[in-house]
A and B are shown apart, each in its own frame.
Chain A
Amino acid sequence: MKRVAVIGVGLTKFGELWDASFSQLFVEAGTQAIEDAGIDGSDVDALYVGNMSGGRFIDQEHISCLIADYAGLTPIPATRVEAACASGGLAIRQGVMAILSGMHEVVVVGGVEKMTDLSTERTTQTLATASDSEWEAFMGMTFPGLYAMMARRHMHEYGTTREQLAMVAVKNHENAMHNPYAQFHVRISVEQVLRSPLVADPLRLLDCSPITDGAACVVLASEERAREFTDSPVYITGSGQASSSIALHSRESVTFVDATYNAGREAYARAKRSPGEIQVAEVHDAFTIGEILAIEALGLVERGSGGRATEEGETAIGGRIPVNTSGGLKAKGHPVGATGVAQVVEVVLQLRGEAGGRQVDADIGLTHNVGGSGGTAVVHILER
């Protein structure tokens, strides 16, 4: 496909941001991205925003209009994109397609979620709406429960160990130590993960990403238009998106995420790249097993070997293929609608050489965002 330039990025601090409202979060990330791009608001042709559940989290639908209004971007077209936790990644793809279609030249893509205005029970209940409401949630299933069943089966089929799952969390917490935007700045040990309370066996509290407020934003431009603003943009060279059954029980496999595989295959083909060429990756580790399933289905490691690759340090900074240098969803935080956009922000910072203490040497990076337990996946490949 033709390349689309990322000319600006912005991010809020991720965390429990009691004093920041939904629109305030978006405006903060958006302002940063527009300043970073060196453009003016009047240069923006269209706005896409990823948001999972403003309706349930803050009793607010019609998010697209709200955001355009508070960002001072009216009357440009503003569109909300929703696919549960993959909302942000899909918003990026919509922005890419808007530019590739020739309809727009400069597009702002944001993602935002305000999760902490609700009680933990209600928040958990809202996240469960990403599963099959009638045949999973109603039966008593929870979101951690679905990933726990994937983990149990992966352990059964491939001999993945409980410790290897913990090592994903340990690595991502270590990476987040060097990310000023991350929710957690605390190192954890395998022992601490294994001693943390059970949430859904075999997953424990420290296997799970937290509840987070935050926003992320990027400015995309056509290659021609980008030259007006920067000499060295990062380019999105590949994009892929796929769907699968919403319920885990209806999928071909519980241990191989077909939507991730299919989205990856499309993105690699469009970028004319192969998994072996990827040098840094941000993947969807809402739960520790999620990162293992992701790196396997994306072909970054052999099928079934994700746990062992993690244990051997292949996915650590300094390893063969550093994964989740930002701290991932686990330690950077997971404001669901913002996550897919924040992943692109991290890879852009890495490719620009602006990732500070977590910098890796990379020219080609990948982002991978999942909705639900694997019903939606979206993959982007970025190059400089």
Chain B
Amino acid sequence: MSMMSVPRFWRNTKARYRMIGRRCRRCGQVYFPPRNLCRRCRRRGELEEVQLSGRGEVYSFTVIRTPPVGFERSAPYVMALVKLEEGAMVTAQLADVEPEEVRIGMKVRSVFRKIQEDGEAGLIYYGFKFVPEDEYDVQGE
């Protein structure tokens, strides 16, 4: 896995745990993952927090067969570009779905899951994955 210290992870927990992104008040562009500067308006922009719905669709996807360190137990797993209904695109794992069932355009929704763990005694990192829209939601909204 990439080098993820506790503070580095903690800095982004709003986005990782609750899918809170940023929106530019000036141009309306939504950023997720969040940014600190609107890349269209730059200094003239003004970013505010925005709660994303977590709904979107699969824009493209792959099945990771040769996993990176930290994901060996998950492989093979589906990774996707998910286009959120607010317009931003994000890279995330698709869960609770067989690789053969995934299609471009498939409607998905975000769920809160374990992303990876830092060895047996290390930190467990949680965050969002996506499941097919009609799947049972473990968060129980």
Contact = CB atoms under 8 A, between A and B. Distances in A.
Nearest to A119: B69
Contacts of A122: 69
A141 B115 CA distance: 11
Given A139-B91, A249-B90, A249-B91, A148 B71 contact: no
B110 to A, nearest CB: 12
Given A124-B68, A139-B115, A152 B4 contact: no
Interface stretch (A69-77, A126-134, A169-177): A126-134
B41 interface: no
Given A141-B79, A249-B81, A136 B91 contact: yes
A142 B2 CA distance: 11
A139 to B, nearest CB: 5
A140 B66 contact: no
Contacts of B71: 140
A366 B21 CA distance: 41
A150 B60 contact: yes
Contact of B104 (A121, A139, A156, A199): A156
Contact of B90 (A135, A142, A201): A135
A135 B91 contact: yes
Given A135-B90, A135-B91, A249-B90, A140 B79 contact: yes
A20 interface: no
Given A140-B79, A153-B104, A254-B59, A199 B12 contact: no
Interface residues of B, number: 35
A1 interface: no
A142 B91 contact: no
B64 A128 contact: no
A150 B4 CA distance: 27
A281 interface: no
Contact of A140 (B3, B33, B64, B99): B64
Interface string B62-87: 11111111010010010111000000
B91 A247 contact: yes
A200 B66 contact: yes
A248 interface: yes
Contacts of A197: 65
A199 B8 CA distance: 30
A69 B116 CA distance: 43
B91 A200 contact: no
Interface string A327-362: 000000000000000000000000000000000000
B68 to A, nearest CB: 6
A138 interface: yes
Contacts of B4: 134, 138
B20 interface: no
Interface string A237-273: 0000000000111100010000000000000000000
B79 A145 contact: yes
A189 interface: no
B75 to A, nearest CB: 9
A278 B51 CA distance: 50
Interface of A: 121-122, 124-125, 128-129, 133-142, 144-145, 148-150, 152-153, 156, 197-203, 247-250, 254
Interface of B: 1-4, 8, 12, 33, 59-69, 71, 74, 77, 79-81, 89-93, 99, 104, 115-116, 125, 127
